[in-house]
Amino acid sequence: MRDYKNESNHPNYSGEVLQLDLSSIRPCLSGPKRPHDKVLLSDMKKDFNTCLPNKNGFKGFEVSEKDLNKSGKITRNNKE
């Protein structure tokens, strides 16, 4: 806990200025268990499709080749 009355606890800033090009920031997704395994949002579809047939486990769902192209309909609030 910081004691604001004690001047020796005040932060000491270096004065160094950091520059950040906001156009270089790219959105990504990661899970709560492994935040360092982030996937760029632009690569999410490709990454997910790559993971589907992989062995069950981390980044794998073991979906068989014949089931990869299956589709279904979803209904919510009486809307398809």
In this prediction, residue 28 carries a pLDDT of 94
Q: Give me the half-sphere count of Cα atoms (radius 13 Å) on the Cβ side of residue 74.
A: 2
- Whether residue 49 lies inside any domain: the answer is yes
**Number of structural domains the chain divides into:** 1
**What is the reported pLDDT for 35?**
84
- Dihedrals phi, psi of 13, to nearest 5 degrees: -90, 145
Domain limits for position 58 = 40-64
pLDDT tens-digit profile of 25-80? 999 998 887 888 899 999 999 999 999 999 998 888 999 999 998 999 999 999 99
The CA distances from residue 17 to 7, 14, 30, in Å, are 24, 9, 29
Domain contains 48 = yes
Return the structure tokens found at 68.
Answer: 């990869």
Q: What is the helix (H) or strand (E) element at residue 44, kind and residue range?
A: helix 44-51
